[in-house]
Every structure is written in structure tokens, then in C-alpha cells.
């Protein structure tokens, strides 16, 4: 296929992706009131499933955060005239983008497949499937664990000893941290895929990752502390353990170091 032929094929890929994305944005826009109440605003009340679970377990495990407050509720306020409408549009876009992600990967796969060798086709197929699955798994961990714990800690944190300061959470602030936390975890969960691709390119190998494991643990602890800025060791562990398991999975996926070829006299 000529250069212009590739451009034409790419143009149609972009058109199809744009059409599907617009359709999903419209559907998400229509469903957004329900999504907001049952999904996005879920962590703002004590009825959130994670809070209920740890409220039940809190009496058995002493180092768990205190989730026994059944009256926990956070009111989200809006201080700008157009914020609710713009939030409706922006969250519809992000939700649609997450849902369309597998189709986007499929279109990219169809576009690059003719240029790949048969062995590369099998490898890239596995990469796309693994990348999609790990992204969704990371987003799920972000929504079910990372964001609720971080949000609850930040909302209940008091700089005043007499608790005279009342938090009023802005809609834009809530949505920003909600989207950021979920997408950060989705991206972080691509670590095994990145390690696998770098291994295929010959840039990393199993022995290299094993040799720097102790340094990686420190880096992952710092990363977990940044993602969840809490002083609670249990919350920190909830983030660190998946990150460490991802690193071990990366070691399992990458290849061994290739033996150096001996010089032939």
C-alpha cells in the first residue's frame, strides 16, 4: 500500500473511532444522572459498599481505619453557574472514552496488523488483550479501593485541634480527584505490559528486574504514598501490595538475559 493509501486507511480509522465515541458520549450523557448518583457520588456516603465492609470488619482488626460512623455523608457544592453542565459533558466524555477503549485498541490492531510478521501478530494480540484487561483492572482498583480511602481520609482530616473548620467540597475538586485517581491506577497497572514490551525490544530482562528489586520496593512505597497521602499503614498497604504484585508479574513476564555470543576467531 502506498503512503497515501496508509493515510486514507488511517483517516477511516479515526472517523470510525470518532463516530463510535460520539455515540457513547450521547449515551453516557443521557445516563449520567443515574451514573452520578449510584457510581460517581457513591463514596460520599456511608452506604458505599467498601465503607460497609470495613465498618463490619473494623471491630475485628484493630489497625483498620474507623468506618463505624454510619452517618458519614459529604455534600458536594457548586459555586459556578456553568459547572454542573460542563461537568455533565466532561464526565460523559471520560466515561465514553473508558467504554470505547477496547474498540480503539481493536481499530489500532487492524491498522497495524498488515505490517506485522506472523510471529509479531501473535505477540501484539496478546499485548493488546493484556493492556485492555490490566487497564480496566487498574481502574476498578482505583474506584473500589484507592479513591474511597483517599477521599475519606482527606475529608475527615482536621488541621484544627478543635475541629472548627468545616469542609465544603467543590464539585470541580471532587470530579478532578475522582478522575485522576482512577486513571492513574489504570495507567499504573500497565507496568507489566510495559516491561514485556521493553523485554521484547531487548532493553530489560528478568535478571535486571530481580537485581533492582530492593530499590523498586522503595520506589513503589513512595508511589503508593503519593497516590494515597494517608498516615494509615493499612491504607498504604492496600495500594502498595497491588503495585508490588505488578512488579513481580513484570518479572515473570519478561525473558531471561540472552547469553553473550562468543567471539569467533
Q: How many domains does the chain have?
A: 1
- 110 inside domain: yes
- 194 inside domain: no
Q: Identify the residue whose cell numbers are 508511589.
A: 223
Question: Sign (positive/negative) of CA torsion 7, 12, 15, 16?
Answer: negative
pLDDT of residue 232: 61
Whether 65 shows a pLDDT value over 70: the answer reads no
DSSP 8: H
Question: Tens digit of pLDDT for each residue in 128-164?
Answer: 888 888 889 999 998 998 888 888 877 877 777 776 7
Measure the CA–CA gap between 162 and 164, rounded to whole angstroms: 6
What does 38-61 look like in DSSP terms, one character per residue? IIITGGGBTTSHHHHHHHHHTTT-
> Bridge partners of 76?
169
Mean pLDDT, residues 211-219: 89
3-class secondary structure per residue, the chain: CCHHHHHHHHHHHHHHHHHHHHHHHHHHHHHHHHHHHHHHCHHHECCCHHHHHHHHHCCCCCCCCCCCCCCCECCEECCCCCHHHHHHHHHHHHHHHHHHHHHHHHHHHHHHHHHCCHHHHHHHHHHHHHHHHHHHHHHHHHHHHHHHHHHHHHHHCCCCCCCCCCCCEEHHHHHHHHHHHHHHHHHHCCHHHHHHHHHHCCCCCHHHHHHCHHHHHHHHHHHHHHHCCCCCHHHHHHHHHHHHHHHHHHHHHCCCCCCCCCCCC
Q: How many residues appear in the chain? A: 265
Measure the CA–CA gap between 103 and 121, rounded to whole angstroms: 18
- 222 inside domain: no
Question: Tens digit of pLDDT for each residue in 199-208?
Answer: 877 788 888 8
pLDDT of residue 234: 67
| Range from 53-57, 96-100, 114-118, 260-264 carrying the lowest mean pLDDT | 260-264
Measure the CA–CA gap between 118 and 120, rounded to whole angstroms: 5
Measure the CA–CA gap between 158 and 161, rounded to whole angstroms: 7
**Domain encompassing residue 139:** 3-189
> Bridge partners of 170?
77
pLDDT of residue 3: 66
- 20 inside domain: yes
- 39 inside domain: yes
Measure the CA–CA gap between 49 and 55, rounded to whole angstroms: 10
Helix boundaries (H) for 69-117: 83-112
- 145 inside domain: yes
More confident: 31 or 177 = 31
- 255 inside domain: no
CA distances from 88 to 35, 91, 160, 183, 197 (A): 11, 6, 35, 18, 37
Question: Tens digit of pLDDT for each residue in 101-131?
Answer: 888 888 887 877 777 677 767 777 777 888 8
pTM above 0.95, yes or no: no
- 183 inside domain: yes
Amino acid at each position: 500500500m502506498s503512503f497515501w493509501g496508509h493515510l486514507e486507511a488511517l483517516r477511516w480509522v479515526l472517523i470510525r473511532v470518532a463516530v463510535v465515541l460520539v455515540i457513547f458520549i450521547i449515551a453516557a450523557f443521557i445516563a449520567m444522572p443515574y451514573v452520578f448518583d449510584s457510581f460517581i457520588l457513591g463514596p460520599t456516603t456511608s452506604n458505599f459498599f467498601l465503607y460497609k465492609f470495613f465498618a463490619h470488619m473494623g471491630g475485628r482488626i484493630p489497625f483498620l481505619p474507623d468506618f463505624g460512623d454510619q452517618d458519614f455523608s459529604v455534600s458536594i457544592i457548586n459555586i459556578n453557574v456553568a459547572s454542573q453542565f460542563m461537568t455533565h459533558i466532561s464526565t460523559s466524555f471520560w466515561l465514553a472514552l473508558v467504554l470505547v477503549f477496547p474498540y480503539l485498541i481493536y481499530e489500532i490492531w487492524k491498522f497495524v496488523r498488515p505490517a506485522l510478521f506472523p510471529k509479531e501478530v501473535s505477540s501484539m494480540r496478546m499485548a493488546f488483550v493484556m493492556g485492555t484487561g490490566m487497564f480496566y483492572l487498574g481502574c476498578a482498583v482505583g474506584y473500589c479501593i484507592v479513591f474511597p480511602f483517599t477521599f475519606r481520609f482527606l475529608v475527615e482530616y482536621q488541621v484544627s485541634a478543635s475541629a472548627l473548620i468545616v469542609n465544603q467540597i467543590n464539585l470541580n475538586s471532587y470530579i478532578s480527584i475522582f478522575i485522576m485517581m482512577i486513571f492513574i491506577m489504570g495507567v499504573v497497572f500497565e507496568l507489566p505490559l510495559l516491561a514485556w514490551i521493553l523485554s521484547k525490544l531487548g532493553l530489560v530482562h528478568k535478571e535486571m528486574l530481580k537485581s533492582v528489586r530492593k530499590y523498586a520496593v522503595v520506589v513503589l512505597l513512595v508511589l503508593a504514598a503519593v497516590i494515597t497521602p494517608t498516615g494509615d499503614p493499612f491504607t498504604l498497604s492496600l495500594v502498595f501490595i497491588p503495585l508490588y504484585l505488578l512488579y513481580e508479574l513484570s518479572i515473570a513476564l519478561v525473558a531471561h538475559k540472552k547469553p553473550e555470543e562468543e567471539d569467533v576467531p
